[in-house]
Structure 1
Amino acid sequence: MARSMLIKVTAGSDAPERCNQAFTVAAAAVASGVGVSFWLTGESAWFGLPGRAKEFALPEATPLQDLLDVILAGGRVTVCTQCASRRGIGPDDLIDGIRIAGASTFVEEALGEGVQALVY
């Protein structure tokens, strides 16, 4: 049975190291061939919009846009429904390939066989 990862990032520019760590782990997992479902929640929801990841900078860290590109190429990226709604973000605002989904979808994914869930 192949294992997969469900990674939820709750921080954005308000906690840059925690945010970058989540993106780094998700990208490393994708690059290693692991199935990844990456959830953008709270302030990280903004990174589902075009150009927002390019604005993020953290010294000594891989650019967030590069990490997001890796995740999108081999994983699934989701913006939390409530988080998107509170920020006025709709499906048409998002980068191609990113979806909006809610708690029931997160729970379903988290309870899948062989899933390792991490929250940052």
Structure 2
Amino acid sequence: MRTSLVVKTTAGADAPERCSQAFTVAALGVSSGLDVSLWLTGESAWYALPGRAEGFSLPEAAPLQDLLAAVLAGGRVTLCTQCAARRGIGEGDVLEGVRVAGSQAFLAEVMADGVQALVY
């Protein structure tokens, strides 16, 4: 059984270090061969939109768009349904490969056997 990692981030430009840490851990998980699911909630919801990750900058950190691309290429990225709705983001607005799902899907992922969950 492959180990799964669920990373949930609520941080965006309002808390850039926490945001970067979440994306970094998720991308590292993918490169380590883990089954990774990155959940974008709260202010990180904006990074489900095209071009938004490119506007993120944090000294000494990997570019957010590269980390996001790594997770999209080898894992899953989910945008919280309620967080999207509060920001006026529709399913047709998000990057290719990003799904929009709610708490029930999150709970199912974190309660599965062999899952490690981290919240940033």
**TM-score, L = length of structure 2:** 0.99
% identical aligned pairs: 66
Could you list the per-position Cα deviations for residues 33-54 of structure 1 after superposition, in whole angstroms to 9, with x for gaps in the alignment? Answer: 1000100000000000000000
The amino acid that maps onto 1:18 is: R
1:14 aligns with 2:14: yes
- 1:50 maps to 50
> One-letter code of the match for 1:21?
Q
How far residue 2 of structure 1 moved from its aligned partner, in angstroms, is 1.8
The residue aligned with 1:61 is 61
- SS in structure 1 at match of 2:117: strand
Q: Deviations over 1:42-83 (max 9, x none)?
A: 000000000000000000000000000000000000000000
1:85 corresponds to = 85
Gapped regions of structure 1 (runs ≥ 5): none
1:98 maps to 98
Paired letter, 1:51: G
Structure 1 moving runs of 4+ over 3 Å: none
Residue 3 of structure 1 and its aligned partner are, at CA, apart by 1.0
Q: How far apart in 1 are the matches of 2:90 and 2:31?
A: 29
Letter in 2 for 1:31: S
Alpha-carbon distance in structure 2 between the residues aligned to 1:24 and 1:107: 22
Q: Quote how far apart the aligned CAs of 1:85 are.
A: 0.2
Q: State the match for 2:29 in structure 1.
A: 29
Using the alignment, how far apart are the partners of 2:34 and 2:73 within structure 1? Answer: 12
C-alpha distance in 2 between matches for 1:2 and 1:85: 33
TM-score of the two chains, using structure 1 as the length reference: 0.99
